[in-house]
Amino acid sequence: MDLTAHNRFHVAYIRALRELETLRLAQWERSRVTLPQLRVLFQVRGAPGITTGQLAQCLGITVSTTSGLVAKLADAGLVARGMCQDDRRQVPLDLTEAGRASARAAHAGRGGVSEGKPQALPCQDLE
């Protein structure tokens, strides 16, 4: 491949990436899920049954901030709050089918930039 063909390819590739990024951002705006909410979705997806306190620790934010994010996601039907029979103060979280679909759509909208499904960042200690 000569330099001119290489340059044309590079320019076309950059244009295609910009178009994909525009489509990805449009998809994100339609989903109405904020970046902090998306972080919660990915964490809960990676650790079903995680509690709000554990989630706050993983995300490095306060429990009250985490509770607000979870409340909005629950109201939107993306996160389900469970019940712990042993300790009613502990509320395990899980994604609803809509939450799983939203997480999949957010990942698919990345245009295959990274391989595999996004994983929740590991917590130091969930117990």
* CATH value at residue 80: 1.10.10.10
Let me know if residue 22 belongs to a domain: no
* pTM of the predicted protein model: 0.66
Let me know if residue 7 belongs to a domain: no
For all residues of the chain together, what is the average pLDDT?
Answer: 83
Let me know if residue 114 belongs to a domain: no
Supply the range of the domain harboring residue 104: 32-108
The token pair at 30 is 């339609």
pLDDT, one tens digit per residue, over 105-127 is 877 755 444 444 445 555 654 44
- End-to-end distance of the chain based on CA atoms, in angstroms? 57
Residue 118's pLDDT is 46
pLDDT, one tens digit per residue, over 56-85 is 999 999 999 999 999 999 999 999 999 877
Nearest to 97 by CA among 111, 76, 112: 76
Residue 83's pLDDT is 85
Question: Which comes out higher in pLDDT, residue 94 or 107?
Answer: 94
